[in-house]
């Protein structure tokens, strides 16, 4: 049984590589946005934790038919503030708006993880609280500089904790790696049950 990472995220590949476990990548082609909208329409009160888990599971299920003998690992990270979902920004203007909205406030980052094979499905999630520094001339300039790199455009909430966006963070309560996109400590521990070792 091989481990297949159902993601094209370089951050998730980097985190999984830390374990020393060999794996292959097979990006999922499921439409996260459409699935999230359907889930929210069916259950308007769905929690970000359940939503992240369902999205991770959908990604894993999309890849499984191509690797029926293997273990599929998929994840999805959501950023919410006061119940509002902050997805990937569509352009620089939206990224700037998101980062300004998050400034000086505490938001939630939920990462759902799915580990599935032809005979089993395991889903779990983590939740972290991230507080951004308040807006100031320095923070405003940092947001502008960060947005100009286009790095925020492929990230939920328009920031990556492991890059320039991390300078916007004042405090984090929870799993740093989960905010980065994969709670790798928990994943590593759970992989042992599938007899997957470095």
> What residues contact residue 92 under an 8 Å CB cut-off, 6+ apart?
147, 148, 150, 153
Catalytic, 76? Answer: yes
- Residue in 76, 91, 175, 195 annotated catalytic: 76
Catalytic residues: 76
């Amino acid at each position: 049984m091989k481990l297949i990472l159902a993601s094209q995220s370089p951050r998730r590949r980097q985190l999984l590589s830390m374990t020393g476990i060999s794996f292959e990548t097979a990006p999922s082609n499921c439409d996260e946005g459409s699935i999230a909208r359907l889930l929210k329409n069916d259950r308007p009160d769905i929690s970000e934790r359940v939503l992240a888990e369902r999205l991770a599971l959908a990604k894993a299920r999309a890849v499984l038919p191509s690797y029926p003998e293997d273990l599929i690992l998929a994840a999805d990270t959501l950023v919410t503030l006061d119940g509002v979902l902050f997805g990937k920004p569509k352009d620089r203007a939206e990224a700037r708006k998101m980062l300004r909205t998050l400034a000086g406030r505490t938001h939630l980052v939920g990462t759902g993880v799915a580990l599935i094979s032809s005979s089993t499905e395991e889903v779990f999630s983590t939740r972290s609280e991230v507080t951004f520094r308040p807006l100031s001339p320095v923070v405003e300039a940092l947001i502008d500089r960060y947005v100009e790199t286009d790095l925020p455009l492929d990230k939920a909430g328009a920031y990556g904790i492991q890059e320039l966006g991390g300078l916007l963070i004042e405090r984090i309560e929870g799993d740093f790696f989960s905010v980065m996109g994969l709670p790798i400590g928990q994943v590593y521990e759970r992989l042992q049950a599938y007899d997957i070792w470095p």
